[in-house]
Chain A
Amino acid sequence: MDLKYLAISNIGPFKGLHQFNFNTTSGKNGFAIFSKNGRGKTSLFNAMQWALFGEVFERGSVRNGRWSDGQRRTIVGDYSRNPGPMMNEDAYREMRIPEMNVIIIATHNDKDVQINRVAKSKVGSMPRVDNDLNQNLTVTIGEEVAQDGKAQELVENLFPNELRRFFFIDGESLEEYVDLVKAGQVGGIKNDVESVLRLPALTRGISDLEIIRSDIDKEIASESKTKRKIQKNAEEAQSLQIKINDLKLKLETKETNFNNTKSRFNALEIELKDFGEAIGHIEELEKLRAQEDALSTALKRSSEARNKLSSNAWKVLIWKRANAMYEEVSEQQSNLQSSNYQMDLINRQIEKLNDEIEESNGFCSHCGQSIVDAYDHKSILQSKLLDLKNQKSNISSDLGLSMNEVIQRMGDLSKLNPPTGSKEIIIQSNENWLEDKSKLLNIIEALEKEESRGLEGVDSSELMKKSEQLGQMRTTLRRMEPVLDELRQEIIRKELELKRLDGGRISTFDQKKNNTYTTIGELLNVMKDTLSKYRELARKDVERVASESFRHVINAPEALTGINIDQNFNGSIIGADGRKITMPSSGQEMTMTLCIMDALRRVSNVSAPIFFDTPGRSLDDDHKKAQLEYFWSMRNHQFIIFPHSGEYKIEETINQFGGLIGSAWELTWPADREECENCGEDSPLKEGKIMKCLNCGEKWDISVKETTVKVLEVES
């Protein structure tokens, strides 16, 4: 594909429509778009990608040994971000219906190609997000016109998206790509080689088949699990079936026994039908005897209880009288305590009086004067003393027993005191015994009476025996019925369990899946082998072509003879001795990488222009020159570089490579203009933000950051 014409509108700093004419009559394929930073080189670079592929990504990087694109650029959105949205900000803010547009006109196999991609707001002014935009692609190739999806297919036939990075080269990402090439990481350049093979059917086929095989593998694994489960179920079912059979056999035996017993029971019942009265008598006897047994047992218990409880009966009786004695002694104790207290009191008073009498000598103990009635006072004291002694004597004579004796008596009497409630308990136990005894006697009487009735004309012992048999059989039958029911329920439960186990069984295992899995595996091996062979051929081709380019570009072709791409896709520079250069310079590595990329592109046989943003980055002057010389010399590829002014000087480059350059442009802002556009005067006067031509009076605002495209003159 040869680019003929490019028109962009409202992209980056390009407000309004701007055009680039690549249509040269000279047949020269070199193109250059110079500018300082920020004037729109990268926007132009991105505009081409957007027109072709409908998407632009931020600068890519190498992650985990693979090249990966950066974040997708938006068309509209947050203009404070860097990089901001692709649409020109002024157009975005000023247009009633903002619109961004790129038109590419080219030729391919002698057919005219026109690619027109438009992004236009569908919500009026200032759409917030890309979803607020209508994006349309129209492609015309010869007479064929296509829109959108179909149009995109046509574009990618001309310009495969997977090879985009070999045609849109970003100098600033190149260093990372150098690392990828040097490291020979699997998935890096190896993938590149595969992509230039342009065998998508094969590579995608392998991928698709691997997915299919993986799915089958999962299914087989799942079925194997199911199979194991089925196997387990089968074993359980077998075991369960044996149990069921055993249970059924057991049930059958028990049912037979039950039926036999039932038959005998029925027969015996019929036989004993005529002996109803006798049987009633026998049953009554049995009942009475059972009652007699029960009551005998009850009587034994009550007799035993009475025996234990009656041990305190004598105390109950004796206490009836001893209690009064105890109370009497208790009263004596109280009296004794009271008397003792009085005695103590009297003794203290006597002692005090004795002291007072002894000290009474007729004189005051304080002043020593004689007391007038001292004699009378002493007489009174002596009288009181006598009176107290009499009282003491009386109390002593009233005392009978000593306190110790009283306490001894109380202790002895206490031993005769029965526990509380003993009387009632004993009486109750006696009544219980009497009641039980009475009941037993009544039953014994009833039993004797029943026994005395006798059974005329009946062999009572035989009848009783049969009656007992009947009773036993009835009991047996009643006992057997729930057992049989339980057995039947157990069988039903186990049969349900068996049914559940059988239900999960799959009769046949899908062998076809196994076969398919194997076949796909074999097919995959063949395809991978084929791909590997192609890849190997491509690797050698890339190595060869890259080496050719390298020898043209490198500044020391006599020392550095080519590029080696080993089987691990590790790129390296080969010296004159045929060995790898161990310590190449960064310029040499960069050149090697560019040559490998060029080789990949050439091996792909895709004919399309090459766009190289900031191509001179990391290259020394010699390599930069060699690079341009080589790429611009190619006759079958347009090579469009986007250098900034620091990389390649405009005049120097045009002068040096004018013979190879078809067209060149410079992107400028008003501030970059050093001469008047109107008259060519080269000494304008700066007045604040305004530049003024002193010759013709033309003025321009240098604060405006709106890119203007200037066509540079080149050697025709």
Chain B
Amino acid sequence: MGHQCKRNNSESIGGGKLSELIIGSVSVPEDSHEMLTNLVYDKNKPEEDRPFSAIVEAFRFAFALGYTSDQRGKRVGPPVTIAPRQFVVSEYEVLFREICIEEKISLGALCSDFAQGGCEIIKSHLDSGGTVLELLERSFNQESD
């Protein structure tokens, strides 16, 4: 699974320069945000697949899934920002610095793209009747396959 699209998000909102790297912020489209919201734990709904304790945890999972699957999503629709204090983009500079500089996009934009990619995988899996955390195992199995 290669890069679905090469985007120039250097014009993304906020963020300062770190060397040549633009930090930027993270966001997902509304529908993805809603889907992620539905993955947050609710003690009154134990039968539902809500394995994450907060929206940022769900987002982080989606982002990690997109990254490990090397799948970036196309963010369409109004963005919903993920709180920067909860998801600190600079923590991922070590992974994406070169890509961002090379592709001239901000770190936040790249993370958001990976998160969107992950959301798409999750949505597809949930639609097929699976559970979110099954993707963890599947991700490894795919590689071994």
Contacts and interface: CB of A to CB of B under 8 A. Distances in A.
A427 B47 contact: no
Contacts of A300: 43, 46
A318 B94 CA distance: 12
Contact of B94 (A307, A409, A430): A409
A306 B93 contact: no
A307 B136 contact: no
A694 interface: no
A307 B63 CA distance: 18
B51 A306 contact: yes
Interface string A314-344: 1111101110010000000000000000000
Contacts of A427: 133, 136-137
A273 interface: no
A440 B140 CA distance: 30
A319 to B, nearest CB: 9
Contact of B133 (A296, A413, A426): A426
Contacts of B47: 299, 303, 437, 440-441
Contacts of A430: 51, 131, 133-134, 136
Interface string A669-708: 0000000000000000000000000000000000000000
A549 B85 CA distance: 138
Interface string B47-72: 10011110001001101110110100
A68 interface: no
Nearest to A434: B131
Contacts of A204: none
Given A307-B50, A314-B60, A314-B63, A423 B140 contact: yes
Contacts of A437: 46-47
- Report whether over half of chain A's contact residues are helix, strand or loop; otherwise say mixed: helix
A311 interface: yes
Contacts of A313: 51, 61, 64, 133, 136
Interface residues on A, range: 35 or more
Contacts of A412: 91, 93-94
Interface residues of B, number: 29
A304 interface: yes
B81 interface: no
Interface in B69-103: 70, 91, 93-95
Nearest to A302: B46
A317 B52 contact: no
Nearest to A318: B64
Given A313-B136, A426-B133, A318 B46 contact: no
Interface string A424-446: 00110110001001001100000
Given A307-B50, A320-B143, A423-B136, A314 B57 contact: yes
A360 interface: no
B68 A307 contact: no
A657 B113 CA distance: 162
Contacts of B70: 321
B40 to A, nearest CB: 9
B4 interface: no
A163 B76 CA distance: 146
A415 interface: yes
Contacts of B95: 318, 321-322, 325, 413, 416
A408 to B, nearest CB: 8
B41 A315 contact: no
27 contacts: A299-B47, A300-B43, A300-B46, A303-B43, A306-B133, A310-B61, A311-B57, A313-B51, A313-B61, A313-B136, A314-B60, A314-B64, A315-B64, A316-B64, A316-B136, A317-B61, A318-B67, A320-B140, A321-B68, A321-B70, A325-B95, A409-B94, A412-B91, A423-B137, A437-B46, A437-B47, A441-B47
Interface of B: 41, 43, 46-47, 50-53, 57, 60-61, 63-65, 67-68, 70, 91, 93-95, 131, 133-134, 136-137, 139-140, 143
